[in-house]
Structure 1
Amino acid sequence: MGALAGKVYVVEEVFAFLIVFARVGSIFMLMPGISEMAVSPRIRLTLALLVAGLLTPLVSAGLPPVPAGLPALLFVLGREILIGIVLGTLIRLFVSALQIAGTAIAMQTGLGFVQSVDPTQGTQGALVATFLTILGTTLVLATDLHLMMIAAVHDSYSLFPAGADLPLDDVVALAQRMVSGAYALGMAIAAPFLIFGLLFYFAMGILSRLMPQLHVFFLAMPLNILLSFAILSILIGTLMVMYLDAFEAHLARFLAG
């Protein structure tokens, strides 16, 4: 009798770890700072296993019972993976704000043609966008916001209990708000450069009227790039603080408390 109870206990513990790992692993495959192309898949897997092992005793009371058969087990695990993918995608949405800002800045400053490989995404993008994305990801880790992301993973079991259906209507509405919020934040970060560009080209237009013999294009391009870099060096600290504050508020949506 004792041996049977021991086997049941082991099965329950293994199932609890598997169901937690299904959600945590899916989130870690998309989480900013951890899911980047530069991070080895082995490191991501190790971190996911470690966090899942730490979270399992904390959330085991709210986990569903062990399913009776393999199809039911696969269904439960698939649902947890889906929840993890949805949560990871929602958390990662705000990273696109820096890509939007960087692309807008690059187009306004005449650097839109300068492309570079983004090591965080594995794709090509504007050089300014790549710089802002790498800097933002580094600051997220440096300011311990990744710990807030792990806390959000824990609290997700209060917001989206294991074994329960995913509230698709609420998730879609939240995703719409986050997409619009990320776009608004990206344009807010790029706003000083957009205003500068408007004033700069307005001044160049007046200059071309006053001095028709002057080749304004050859003067405007290098001067625009020089002044834009000067503005970026002055405002980069303020812009990153703005991004980190917005990212922290974004993560607070996923905290139960």
Structure 2
Amino acid sequence: MLTLQFQWAEIQRFLFILLRVSTMILLVPVFDSRNIPLMVKVGLCLSLSVFCYQFLRVQPMEPLSDLATFGVGIAQEVMIGAMIGLVVRLLFAGIQLAGEMIGFQMGLTIANVIDPVSSNQISIVSQMLYLFAILIFWAMDGHHMIFHALAESFALIPPFGMRLSEPLGRFTLDRAVAMFRMALLFGAPMIVSLVLATLVIGLIARTVPQMNVFMVALPAKIWIGLFFMGTSLSIMASVVQRHSLELQSQIGMMLKWMGRGG
């Protein structure tokens, strides 16, 4: 008869690994989609956790009997996984924000659809740019970079090794600011062209008051926005590639600050 025996300290160590992995998977784009069956997500989290437990040099732990200490360890693991997922998520949040601004300028905000990921109303342009950025990110093996960052986190931050520091706070604030910068860089060609088109339509309406400007402006802005969006796809792809390449070093820097506390 086969019997399995595990030490309580090893069970706790696996639980901490599972919490960090699961939190990151639930926040990283694509993996967090509600279109992915729950059992697939559970299987992925368990598989990655077993791999990290078996092959990574995670620091051994002493068995914990204090409930408060155990709760602190759980909170730290959830925060580490959430920070990794948040840094990746902010990149695509900037792209979605750019799509919202472009859709507003094109007059497509009245045609919002339900995003299956967040179950919120989102612009059609925003959803299209988000899927385009996801394709570029995965074509660059961005998912490999995420898994590498997860493995590196266990080397830099063992269980109960997380430290909060001032550089970590500044880094989080800088990432939030970078999200808006990313939105402007990603949507600048379309936003500028649509603003200029609005000015031109306004001048035409002043010089030719007999023309029904509202019947002309809406389809004109849609066509102009789609034209410049199509011609700017190469620029968008380069912006996503550059920020995706910077993402790995940024996550590594964040993990070092979280591990050594600044």
- TM-score tier, shorter chain, comes to 0.7 to 0.9
State the TM-score, normalizing by the size of structure 2.
0.86
User: How do 1:101-250 residues align onto structure 2 when only pairs under 5 Å count?
Assistant: 101-250=98-247
CA distance in 1, matches of 2:77, 2:245: 25
Deviation at 1:236, TM superposition (A): 2.0
Measured on the aligned residues, the alpha-carbon RMSD in Å equals 2.3
Deviation at 1:70, TM superposition (A): 4.8
CA distance in 2, matches of 1:78, 1:184: 31
Matched, 1:15 2:12: yes
CA distance in 2, matches of 1:60, 1:24: 15
Residue type of the alignment partner of 1:80 = E
State the TM-score, normalizing by the size of structure 1.
0.87
Deviation at 1:32, TM superposition (A): 1.4
Residue type of the alignment partner of 1:188 = L
CA distance in 2, matches of 1:101, 1:70: 45
User: How do 1:39-118 residues align onto structure 2 when only pairs under 5 Å count?
Assistant: 39-118=36-115
**1:136-173 Cα shifts (integer Å, max 9, x gaps):** 22332333201100111111234433212431533322
Gaps of 5+ in 1: 1-5
CA distance in 1, matches of 2:182, 2:114: 23
Q: Which is worse superposed, 41-50 or 244-253? A: 244-253
CA distance in 1, matches of 2:22, 2:245: 22
Determine the structure 1 residue equivalent to 2:259: none
CA distance in 2, matches of 1:159, 1:11: 24
**Percent of matched pairs sharing the same residue:** 19
CA distance in 1, matches of 2:235, 2:185: 12
Deviation at 1:241, TM superposition (A): 3.0
Aligned to 2:96, what secondary structure does the other structure show? helix
CA contact (8 A) 1:33 1:140 kept: no
CA distance in 2, matches of 1:182, 1:63: 38
Aligned to 1:121, what secondary structure does the other structure show? coil
CA distance in 1, matches of 2:83, 2:112: 30
CA distance in 1, matches of 2:15, 2:206: 71
**1:61-105 Cα shifts (integer Å, max 9, x gaps):** 434333244553343233212322233223312121111100000
CA distance in 1, matches of 2:60, 2:238: 38
Task: Count the aligned residue pairs.
Answer: 251
Matched, 1:29 2:26: yes
Residue type of the alignment partner of 1:164 = G
CA contact (8 A) 1:115 1:127 kept: yes
CA distance in 2, matches of 1:35, 1:147: 16
CA contact (8 A) 2:58 2:158 kept: no
Q: Which is worse superposed, 152-161 or 17-26? A: 152-161
CA contact (8 A) 2:22 2:45 kept: yes
Cα distance, 1:213–1:153 mapped onto 2, change above 3 Å: same
Deviation at 1:255, TM superposition (A): 2.8
CA distance in 2, matches of 1:246, 1:66: 42
Deviation at 1:128, TM superposition (A): 0.7
Deviation at 1:25, TM superposition (A): 1.0
CA distance in 1, matches of 2:43, 2:238: 31
Deviation at 1:227, TM superposition (A): 1.5
Cα distance, 1:16–1:202 mapped onto 2, change above 3 Å: same
CA distance in 2, matches of 1:124, 1:205: 30
CA distance in 1, matches of 2:108, 2:18: 43
